A and B are shown apart, each in its own frame.
Chain A
């Protein structure tokens, strides 16, 4: 007899062992339910984490831009309004006014990790008879590449951005028929043109980005875009990406520039995550309810089957509370063991799934993350669900009249 357990624990274990077929079936049921929940939650968390990582390593958390130019009506003398049709002005490429001061202010803000000066705009890449419209980004590589992880996506060449260097995407390289070491003629604003050497080719995982995006040194960008001494934007990375919106609002309030956080510019991303989380919650809740009803139904049957034994135990001096605990323990143990088995099943499935399912570019669809917190909370949750599910049958058992139960 297992004497490190009190009577209630011993009886619960023996009852489960004696009815091992029922125990096995409900354990399988609980395990499958938990496995589905853990598997689905892990995949969802992994895919979201992967997606989030890609989003956050391909754009700044906050972008500071000059305020939009607006047309203002001319006013005559007081009380006289000019009857004019105001046309919205085009947004010409221009620098942020007093950008050095704004940069210092932003860099000193709590939570800001790095600020990069950007000179970006449209340009034309020419190679022989082939031309392509490109988006030119001029930036200091030390700052900018710690925000946008272009170095992670380089597929040819080496990362070097001297004043005559340029990084281009794979699709642009194919379009223009160039490779690392070739030279490109880049024509920027006001027909400023320079011949630049391709030092590296990158693959950002998007055809449009690979065709359009190019990176040059900050001063080269200023020169090509005719922005001597100016910046078109300041791009910021913060310590906590999810605090970006608050920090952006603070910066805008202090400096008067427009501050767009990645949270506002990727609203659809958050809508998708919210939808996924909601569906995950619905599925997990349904599974938890199925597990609870499964455990409860097995224990109800067990109480009916063991009515006479419960009566005998009561005749021998078992208190109602002891009988209650015997069945509560069974519910808790079924939930707990089922959750452990289910978590192990989910871990195996995840490992197989992770090895088999890849993205189109061959990289992993999701990181293989078995969050100990998820596993631990699922096991605890399942044990609690098992306990709660055992409550009704346990109370039914505890309420049995021993004289009636013994008669059967």
Chain B
């Protein structure tokens, strides 16, 4: 049986440790995402969603608790090992698409492969072209990202998040900057990729309409999981 895509056990996160201003943001989060899950993480501002996402994305470290990505326990890993694991196992989709303006759409998509070295040019181009085709951006493969609309850029950023075929895709309000039509298009795209490739998605969203389209909804309030809807 395949390992879970994500397993969080008693995750605590405090800021200002040891200082009078110390504050705990996450109070013992337990969460498991099986492979292929399509999950929404909702909650009011300040509930700790982004902090949790950063910890899951190995961009930040928990104060205590255990985190495993695709069965790989992250405890004891140094910065270099965490970076390797992040690059190979996690894809990111941000609210602002956060593409690198100095590169074209196709180059942005293949950037994670370029960073990891060892990939042949042909393999990188083939993978990027296939994903751009799949997200409907093949025509713009050589476009500078500054010339793309918000919806187009977000599609490119989804392609970039998927190119390493990660265990887990983390999306932080991926439709937050888009109009309704574009937001629906991007969400449909993520759903389709989840169906087709079986990748696990954890999506932060403030949009209840989109959250309802996810297979599972986790509500975070004041640093605790308040409710889960399957």
Report A's interface with B, CB cutoff 8 A. Answer: 1, 3, 6-7, 10-11, 14-15, 17-18, 308-309, 312-320, 322, 401-403, 406
Is A402 within 8 A of B87, CB to CB?
no
**Minimum CB–CB distance for B48 against chain A, Å:** 13
B interface residue count range (under 10 / 10 to 19 / 20 to 34 / 35 or more): 20 to 34
Bound complex: CA A317 to CA B116 (Å): 7
Restricting to B78-109, which residues have a CB under 8 Å from any CB of A?
79-80, 83-84, 86-88, 92, 94, 98-103, 107
B148 at the interface (CB under 8 A from A): no
**Minimum CB–CB distance for B221 against chain A, Å:** 22
Residues of chain B with a CB closer than 8 A to A11's CB: 102
Indicate the member of A17, A314, A320, A401 with the most B CB atoms within 10 Å. A314
Is B115 within 8 A of A15, CB to CB?
no
Is B59 within 8 A of A315, CB to CB?
yes
B117 at the interface (CB under 8 A from A): yes
Partner of A403, one of B54, B99, B160: B54
Partner of B102, one of A14, A319, A322, A406: A14
Report B's interface with A, CB cutoff 8 A. Answer: 54, 57, 59-60, 79-80, 83-84, 86-88, 92, 94, 98-103, 107, 111-112, 114-117, 121, 160, 164
Residues of chain A with a CB closer than 8 A to B121's CB: 3
What would be 7 A-B contacts, judged by CB atoms less than 8 Å apart? A1-B107, A14-B102, A312-B92, A315-B86, A317-B88, A317-B115, A318-B83
Bound complex: CA A403 to CA B82 (Å): 14
Residues of chain A with a CB closer than 8 A to B164's CB: 317
Residues of chain A with a CB closer than 8 A to B83's CB: 314, 317-320
A7-B100 contact in complex given A315-B57, A315-B92, A317-B87, C-beta closer than 8 Å:
no
Residues of chain B with a CB closer than 8 A to A312's CB: 92, 94, 98-100
Is A18 within 8 A of B60, CB to CB?
no
Residues of chain A with a CB closer than 8 A to B100's CB: 309, 312-313
Is A313 within 8 A of B59, CB to CB?
no
Bound complex: CA A402 to CA B115 (Å): 16
Is B117 within 8 A of A7, CB to CB?
yes
Bound complex: CA A320 to CA B84 (Å): 11
Residues of chain A with a CB closer than 8 A to B112's CB: 316-317
Indicate the member of B80, B84, B107, B114 with the most A CB atoms within 10 Å. B114
**Minimum CB–CB distance for B92 against chain A, Å:** 5
Bound complex: CA A7 to CA B98 (Å): 18
Bound complex: CA A244 to CA B147 (Å): 73
Residues of chain B with a CB closer than 8 A to A6's CB: 117
Indicate the member of A14, A308, A316, A406 with the most B CB atoms within 10 Å. A316
Is B59 within 8 A of A403, CB to CB?
yes
